[in-house]
Amino acid sequence: MTQPVTASRASAPFTPTWQKFKLTGKQYAQQYSHIYSKRLLAQGPMCLPRASKAFPQATAVPRIIELKESVRSIVVGTLVKESSNRVEVQGGLSEDAAIVLDNSDAMKVKAFKTMSDDKDKCVLEDDSGRLALKFLEKEDMFGYNYKVRDLVTGVVVAIVGVVDELGEMEVEAIFVGGIEQGDTGDRVKEEIEGMTKATVGDETSQQPPVVMLASGLQVGKSGGDMLPLQLLVDYISGSLCGGDAASLLGSGSGANVARVLIAGGATGSTFFTSGDLDEMDVKKAAEPIKVLDEYLSQICCNVEVDLMPGASDPVPLMLPQGSIHPCLLPKSGEWQSLNCTPNPYSARVGGAKFLGTSGQPLADMRRFTSSSQAVTMSDTSNDGAPVAITEMEALESTLNFRHLTPTGPDSLPTYPFQDQDPFVIGKNDVPHVLFAGGCEKFETKVVAGVRLVCVPDFDSTKEVVLVNLENFECEVVKFEVS
Amino acid sequence: MSKRFTTTTTTIGTGKRIRGGGDDEYEPTVDDEVMDDEVDYDEAAMEANMAAMAENGEASVDSTVKQRWGRPDVKPFDPNKEDINVQWLDMDMVSGPPLTANPKKGATVLGSSVGPVPVIRVFGCSDKGHSASIFIHGFTPYALFAAPKEFENTSSNLERLREYIDERLRNQVRDARNYKVFCHGVKFLDDRKSVMGYSTTHTQFFQVYCSMPSMVPPLKRIFSEGVKLPGMVETVSCQPFESNVPFVLRFMIDQEISGAGWLSLPAGAYSVRKESEKKTHCQLELDISYKEIISRESVGEWSKIAPLRVLSFDIECQGRKGYFPEAEKDPVIQIANCVSVYGTPDPVVKNVFTLKGCLPIVGTQVITSETEQELLLKWQQFLQAADVDIITGYNVQNFDIPYLLDRAEALSKVRPGPNMSPFKLWGRIKGSPAKMKDTTFQSAAFGKRNNVETTIEGRVVFDMLPYMQRNHKLSSYTLNSVCAEFLGQQKEDVHHSIISDLQNGNDEDRHRLAVYCVKDALLPQRLMDKLSVLINYVEMARVTGVPVSFLISRGQQIKVFSMILRKCRNEKLCVPDLPKGRNADGVAYEGATVLDPIKKYYEVPIATLDFASLYPSIMQAYNLCYTTLASPQDLANLSPEDYNKNPNGTFVKASKKKGILPTILSELLSARKQAKKDMKNAPNEFEKAVQNGRQLALKVSANSVYGFTGAAVGQLPCMAIASTVTNYGRQLLEKTKACVEETYTKANGYEFDSQVVYGDTDSVMVKFGNPMGPRVFELSEEAAEKCSKLFPHPILLEFEKVYYPYLLMNKKRYAGLLWTNVEKFDYMDCKGLETVRRDNCQLVRDVIQTSLNKILIDRDTKSAISYVKKQISDLLQNKMDISRLVITKSLNKGAEWALGLGGKAEDYKIKQAHVELAARMKKRDAGSAPQMGDRVPYVIIQGPKGAQTYTKAEDPIYVLDNNVPIDCQWYLSNQLTKPLTRIFEPVVNDVEKDLLKGDHTRKIFIATPTARKGSLMSFAVKKATCMGCKALIPKDSGNLCEHCVCKENEIYLDKLKNLRVAEEEYSQLWSAAQRIHGQMFQDVMCTGDGCACQFYRRKKVQQDIKRCQTALDMFAQ
């Protein structure tokens, strides 16, 4: 007697927490000064105690203006980095400006060429004034001792040092918001319990639920290869089997995918990232979006989908980016399973906090930082010029800085918030999984209990990442057709 | 504060200056005025001041503070063993008692032994960095007069003449009772000649010594009116010579002391005054007899510069809204200072004196005061403690300094209050206050200007604003834009309307103000360093031999005059003191020549052949000088080989007699060559800067000699020389043209017939016809050599550059790519195009620049035309960014009347757009309206037909906020047409038809009348329209008509696209503005005049983004 074959998809309770990234009634009469004030207000208290603890004998000065000469002090402020190589935008939109957020292949090289070098200068600013920083060549002392090259404009830091007679501070140590084990907090119990495993065949082959992280699908891209995309759908729907396909499956069968999270770059439309937007042909721009609409419908009929917009998607540019407008996705929008989310993304899946962006902040940070391994790792073509930090290093920095988009609004288009800085990773916001889309390659790492995931660009790697919701282990699935 | 007064202080150009002192070259024909700026010794006032100082504890300057940045202490030394070397900056003269004994043991006392006698006072800085004042005794003023041939030179005759003159002077001198002797002696000179003419009747002279320089003008009058000479029956009038030389300059020339040079006081020849005997605040106070002082020639070791101390400062005052600050009413609230020492990179002290509390500023000392009186007095103490040699700032001469002095005056009337009289003691003389003098400067180009000249004894006031105006052609002279230009630094302008609010705020607000004030004090100093101003002026003073102060307060002429006098002294020649204005009555002569331009767009290389230093070399080549000008009688005695005839004058050749002007010139030019060589071999940057300053000074000086001879109201005008120079210039130009055009022809075996397409003053533009390549350079080189051979030495035609392509628009108007080598052009050279003037809007500047780039660099005339057409059609369709249409002009004199602030109606005869607008804005909102001295930005809006332009000017912000339609047609016809015609005339056949009229001008934006109060439109009912196709749709049926619903996604994308463009611009512009102003925590308040932070674009993008967002919000979420 044969048992009836049961096949059921894994599931996980889902609670969106992205409300603060959904904006209505946008105003533009205010300037960018408020967001910096609010950021300092929120993050100062994160940095200061860490500095005071490490340097108990130093005097904590509430504001820059109250610093005194020749006294070892701790002062909190926002860092401003002045790169001599920085391409200033004179006359508004220069060519370089257009590449800031670009993910497309052609622009990648340019975009990730760092403007940082050892001659960069840093100043600290708060609402009372500015302070020039002087870095001494000292080895790490306490905590995170950052070097100029590690830092970007917009990071809130506590600085320990002494002001000299010229009014510059000789920096002894720098403390950022930082992260510690346990900061993530516990997962929501009921939601963990609410997860179900996938059953394919018998009870013994139950598989724990996973979240599929994908990015840069570029559906409908002209000249794009639809086959890997189709394989992806087949994988999710479970219709992929036999032959070569077996090697693709990895440990799962597709049925364990409880959610698909698309971290930006779903549309293959290149209109928003290249060329003169003024000359954009709307008819042509609409085509790939229609293809995406069809494509998403195929996935949505199988599984819950979170669709985050990215730099190249048809949404406004400034972060946070709102969700893709329903009028662009008339078909897939019919499915209840499609969630058009903002970018950044914030939600609880299976009781675990997921936080992430479509990758713009990493790309932007990499333009202003350089790797400490510049010399050893530089390839021959680089002539010893500074090398940008890796995407993983950048992602880790955002966690340590406790800020999703530190370089906004300085070099990253950001909405001029007035009452808050929603990008601060506050006490209760430290996620279990922090991800960024649009990366060159897959990388993962655990820092102080936080799982960091660089989600590879599907269009160039044909890879997606599966995050196990029980232990956050990651696995890559590649859809390459040889 | 300085920025607001920029436009009222222009002192450029040649003009007539009326001053109290009679030694200026622009002096009207008043002969009997005081010759020198003699400093009054008002003993009584001084005593009083000194008493007041003691009362206020002048010496109580914080000695602990002083130690850190004060001058080095004087270590005890033996005056009999040590020399003292001083680089002097300022020199003046006072009357005082004669020395009782020469400081040099055994030497006799020189000069008159009966007082009062003139004492020359020199202020400077020793090589050890000590401030020094040297009192030089024994030099007696004198003047020369032509002696008649009949006069018998016997000692008794001379003594009788002295007695006679003494008596006459006694009756002429105003303060005669102070003197016992007036004329100290008459010397008969027969080894000298007048500088005027090849042969001269004046060959013997009386050298008449008098007690005081102030007696020279009466002396001159006596001799001109007629004197009774002993042994002669008739009274004769004697021509005065060199009686117009300022006393200080006289002394310098006779002792061969050059400006800002080093003076050595040899050991044993000088005495040092004890602290108790000191009359000045200088660390060293020395007495010496004039013969003992050694003047060092500025070569080798002595070309160095002493560690001079420079103070740069800025004040802020609290004005009332809508008014200029007035010293009578408005308090000084902050004074920021920065003292630096020459040769030390960082300032030795930075501080700011504030009224009321202020939070500390890192790196800057903050000194707060509770009352304004206290603030001012503390500052004065600081000034004395700093003991600077030079005081600088931006517009300090006409604003900050007079304001402080006037303010102290006003405060002294406040009772009860502290005694303010010590405040004015800024100079180095104890008890002697700074003195202000109003001077008026008149010039054809700039009208009447009032200046204030402040004498601060022993310190040189060097204002950077007039310096910039004189030496650099800029579109704006605000400190902000000047610094942006030269330092690449920008500062945020604190608008004067908020200064008051900041002052009335808390310590932090005042701190913010102080930070700006400190920056304003620091920037002039930086500018000075960056442009090597100090070095250049010191070198100029050394080359021309005049005091540095002459370079600041006087024109070009005194420099040449000084050089001529020095040379004449060596050659035993005397310079006549001609009555002023003798040549003023219109002896106009023909100026420089321009060969008619052949207007065209040349797509073949045009070689430029330049005459190197044309006018100086003509004067050398043809030996043009006062001393070589031959009279008709002279010609009879000369053979024709001995002179060059010219319609404007005949000059003897150098072989017969070398003129002094050619000698001066050849010395200057060979010195320049040496300086250039030294510059190349300079071991360090300092030395390099010194040599560069030197070669520049030499070049400028050489070029000003010609102007000196041609200045009708000058010291020694000689139209024969000036007009002969230009005449030869013309001949040279024509000869060159003829030579080139005759030589380079097909007939002579060259590839093409050459043509001279244009020539101006000292350059000739030649079209050889060859395409771009080494051949052109070869030919040019050859032609320059060939032509040079035609001309006498040292006239040299040089080949330096090729223009290719070359757009010749008119006389003095051309543009081209400049090549100095065959491989790559150097840059685009534009002459006479108003691309940078801010009177034009950005659009004009952009269109001209881009057109030229396209025509000349891209060599794509077609694309230039289509670009211009696109711009015109965008303009007419109202697609132009408003920031590109903003025109800015400042509210100057005359505007007061229109604004109802007083003034005179006759100063405002022609209505001006920006003034009318300012008046209207004042009615709208007096608080935010522009004030006097502000620059008013405006755009021209559509108005009723036939309305005057001035009624159509509007505030760009108002236009943006209210969506007021722009008068695009006006911009086309009044702004673009002229420059475009000029550029395109040589390029296209019919500019009018092809460029300015045509299909692209057909589509014109016509503004929808907006519902303004009272207009007809306020009765119109607005109906909903489809977002896609503008069709009318029923109310409450969404945003799209039935035909557009299916295209919703496309319409959405279209609106989204607009928003993304706006978002990108918004974030870039606003974050860039934060970076430019160096602040992220405070809103950018800059109104962007001349600032890179793009005020209008920022404003506009705020409007744009709002509009785009609203459109996108219409789509149901």
B28 has pLDDT over 50 = no
Please report the sign of the dihedral spanned by the C-alpha atoms of residue B856, residue B613, residue B706, residue B696.
positive
Burial of B489 (0-12, 13-18, 19+ CB in 10 A): middle
Mind giving me the DSSP string for B609-647?
Answer: EEETTHHHHHHHHTT-SGGGB--HHHHHTS-GGGEE--T
| Chain A residues within 8 A of B1049 when measuring between CB atoms | 286, 289-290, 327-328, 330
Residue of A nearest to B1105 (CA): A28
* Mean pLDDT on B65-75: 75
> What sign has the CA pseudo-torsion A316, A317, A318, A320?
positive
Using only the alpha carbons of chain B, give its radius of gyration. 35
A144-196 residue pLDDT tens: 466 777 788 999 999 999 988 777 888 888 898 888 888 888 888 898 888 88
Note whether A419 and A23 are within 8 A (CB). no
Q: With contacts defined as CB-CB under 8 Å, which chain A residues touch B1110?
A: none
Residues of A in contact with B360 (CB under 8 A): 65-66, 68
Helical H runs in A11-136? Answer: 33-54, 95-98, 105-111
Write down the pLDDT at residue B1022: 62
**B window 1054-1093, beta carbon within 8 A of A:** 1054, 1056-1057, 1059-1061, 1063-1072, 1074-1075, 1078-1084, 1092
pLDDT digits 0-9 by tens, A271-298: 676 556 666 677 888 888 899 999 999 9
* Chain A hits for B340, Cβ within 8 Å: none
Alpha carbon separation from A6 to A199, A201, A204, B197, B612 (Å, rounded): 7, 6, 12, 126, 101
* Residues 482 through 511 of chain B touching chain A, CB cutoff 8 Å: 508, 511
Q: Residue A366 corresponds to which tokens in the numbers above? A: 């990499």
Radius of gyration of chain A (CA): 23
Instruction: Report the phi/psi class of residue B1094: left, alpha or beta, with left for phi > 0 and alpha for psi in -120 to 50.
Output: left
CB contact under 8 A, A67 and B1072: no
pLDDT (0 to 100) of residue A446: 94
B1050 vs A37, A66, A282: nearest CB: A282
Q: Cβ neighbours of residue B287 under 8 Å, at least 6 residues apart?
A: B99, B103, B134, B135, B137, B270, B271, B273
Q: Inform me whether the pLDDT recorded for A259 exceeds 90.
A: yes
Q: Which residue of A has its CA nearest to B1082?
A: A33
pLDDT digits (tens, 9 = 90+) for B855-906: 888 888 888 888 888 888 888 887 777 878 888 887 776 777 777 776 677 7
- Measured in Å, how far apart are chain A's first and last C-alpha atoms? 41
Strand arrangement of the beta sheet that strand A450-456 belongs to: A14-16, A345-349, A352-357, A433-439, A450-456, A443-447
State both tokens at B952: 């159509």
B342 three-class SS: coil
**pLDDT, mean of residues B576-584:** 68
Kindly tell me the sign of the dihedral angle through the C-alpha atoms of B549, B554, B558, B559. Answer: positive
pLDDT at B1064 over 60: yes
Least Cα distance to A110 among A92, A91, A95, A93 occurs for A95
Looking at residue B1089, its pLDDT comes to 60
Alpha-carbon gap, residue B485 to B527, rounded angstroms: 10
**Facing residue for B1102 by CB, picked from A28, A93, A131:** A28
Quick one: closest CA in B to A131, which residue?
B362
The pLDDT of residue B851 is above 60: yes
C-alpha distances in angstroms, B1085 versus A33, B324, B411, B1093?
11, 21, 33, 10
**Among B1049, B1065, B1082, whose Cβ lies nearest the Cβ of A289?**
B1049
B-chain residues near A285 (CB < 8 A): 1050, 1053, 1057
Which chain A residues are within 8 Å of B1061, Cβ to Cβ?
Answer: 277-278
State the alpha helices, DSSP H only, in B487-591: 496-504, 507-530, 533-544, 548-553, 557-571
Residues 331-370 of B with CB under 8 A from A: 346, 359-364
Asked, as a colleague might, if the bond just before B794 is cis with ω within 30 of 0, I would say: yes
CA A382 to the chain's CA centroid: 27
Task: Please state, as a whole number, how many other Cβ atoms lie within 10 Å of the Cβ of residue A57.
Answer: 6
The whole-number pLDDT of residue B450 equals 64
Dihedral sign computed on CA atoms, order A220, A226, A232, A238: positive
pLDDT for B920 equals: 87
pLDDT digits (tens, 9 = 90+) for A44-73: 999 999 999 989 999 999 888 788 888 899
**ipTM value for the complex:** 0.89
Predicted confidence at residue B369, as pLDDT, reads 93
Write out the two tokens for B224. 């001109």
Contact B361 A326 (CB under 8 A): no
CB of B228 closer than 8 Å to CB of B269: no
CB-CB contact of B133 with B94 (8 Å): no
- Residue in chain A closest to B1072 (alpha carbons) equals A89
Residues in contact with B361: Cβ distance below 8 Å, sequence separation at least 6, in sequence order: A129, A167, B352, B511, B514, B515, B518
| Gap from A355 CA to chain B (nearest CA, Å) | 24
Task: Copy the structure tokens of residue B221.
Answer: 């009058």
- Which pLDDT tens digit goes with each residue over A362-386? 988 888 877 765 444 444 444 556 6
* Predicted local confidence at residue B1019, as pLDDT: 61
Q: What pLDDT, on a 0 to 100 scale, did the predictor assign at position A347?
A: 94
User: Two tokens at B572?
Assistant: 């035993």
A405-434: average pLDDT = 92
Interface test with A, best of B1053, B1098, B1112 (most A CBs within 10 A): B1053
E strands in B70-116: 84-96
Give residue B582's pLDDT.
53
pLDDT band at B57 (very low <50, low <70, confident <90, very high): very low
Facing residue for A286 by CB, picked from B1053, B1094, B1109: B1053
Q: Is the model more confident about B176 or about A402?
A: A402
- Report the C-alpha gap between B894 and B915 in whole angstroms: 9
**What angle do helix axes B507-530 and B479-486 make, rounded to 10 degrees?**
50
Shortest distance, CA B530 to any CA of chain A (angstroms): 20
Q: How far is CA B671 from the centre of its chain?
A: 25
Q: Average pLDDT of B595-612?
A: 91
A285 and B511: CB-CB below 8 Å? no
In order of start, what are the domains of chain A with their CATH numbers?
A: 7-25+182-478 (3.60.21.50), 33-83+120-175 (2.40.50.430)
Q: Which of A291-300, B125-134, B136-145, B1106-1115 has the lowest mean pLDDT?
A: B1106-1115
Please give the pLDDT value at position B405.
93
Residue A130 confidence (pLDDT): 84
Q: CA A248, CA A269: separation in Å to the nearest integer? A: 28
Cβ contacts of A65 on chain B, cutoff 8 Å: 359-360, 508, 511
Task: Say whether residue B881 is in contact with chain A using an 8 A CB cutoff.
Answer: no
Q: What is the mean pLDDT of chain B?
A: 83
B967 vs B841: CA distance, rounded Å:
14
**Nearest chain A alpha carbon to B514:** A129
- Residue in A with minimal Cα distance to B516: A129
Cβ-Cβ contacts under 8 Å, B349 against chain A: none
Distance CA B1013, CA B1020 (A): 12
Q: Which residue of B has its CA nearest to A88?
A: B1072
Which stretch, A58-62, B285-289, B447-451, has highest mean pLDDT? B285-289
- Say which of B362, B1060, B1075 has its CB closest to residue A163: B362
Which tokens sit at B723? Answer: 């007009």
Contact A413 B1115 (CB under 8 A): no
What is residue A277's predicted lDDT score, i.e. its pLDDT?
62
Does the pLDDT value for residue A1 go beyond 60?
no
Cα(B611)–Cα(A477) distance, integer angstroms: 79
Query: Testing the interface with A: which of B351, B513, B1049 to mutate, by most A Cβ within 10 A?
Result: B1049
Rounded Cα distance, A118 and A385, in Å? 10
Q: B1043 vs chain A: nearest CA distance in angstroms?
A: 16
- The three-class DSSP label of residue A133 is strand
What do you get for the CA distance between the two ends of chain B, in Å? 53
Is A282 within 8 Å of B1057 when comparing Cβ atoms?
yes
H/E stretch holding B68 = helix B63-69
Residue B625 to residue B709: CA distance in whole angstroms:
9
Q: Which of A166, A410, A412 sits opposite B363 (nearest CB)?
A: A166
* Cβ contact, residue pair A88, B1075, below 8 Å: yes
pLDDT over 80 (residue B846) = yes
Hey, are the CB atoms on A93 and B1056 less than 8 Å from each other?
no
CA closest to B1081 among chain A residues = A33
Q: How many CB atoms lie within 10 A of CB B247?
A: 24
CA distances (Å), origin B860, targets A482, B603, B981, B999:
50, 11, 18, 21
Q: Return the number of other C-beta atoms located less than 10 Å from residue B843's C-beta.
A: 22
Q: Is the dihedral of CA B581, B582, B588, B590 positive or negative?
A: negative
Chain B residue numbers touching A414 (CB-CB < 8 A): 1067
User: Is a pLDDT exceeding 90 seen at residue A451?
Assistant: yes
Average pLDDT over residues B44-58: 47
- Token pair 């196990």 is at which residue? A468
The pLDDT tens digits of the residues spanning B764-804 come to 999 999 998 899 999 999 999 999 999 998 899 999 899 99
A286 and B1049: CB-CB below 8 Å?
Answer: yes
A·B CB contacts under 8 A: 152
Q: How far is CA A90 from the centre of its chain?
A: 28
Strand residue runs (E) in B138-204: 142-146, 183-189, 193-194
Q: In what order do the strands lie in the sheet with B390-393?
A: B365-369, B349-355, B332-341, B309-317, B390-393, B460-463
Average pLDDT over residues B502-510: 87
Mean pLDDT of B92-114: 87
Q: For position B581, what pLDDT does the model report?
A: 59
- pLDDT tens track for B801-822: 999 999 998 888 899 999 998 8
A33 with B1080: Cβ contact below 8 A: yes
For residue B196, what pLDDT is reported? 87
Least confident of A98-112, B310-324, B518-532, B649-663: A98-112
CA distance B686 to B1047: 72
B window 685-724, beta carbon within 8 A of A: none
Task: Judge whether residue A482 has pLDDT over 70.
Answer: no
Percent of chain A with pLDDT over 90: 38
State whether B361 and A166 contact (CB < 8 Å). no
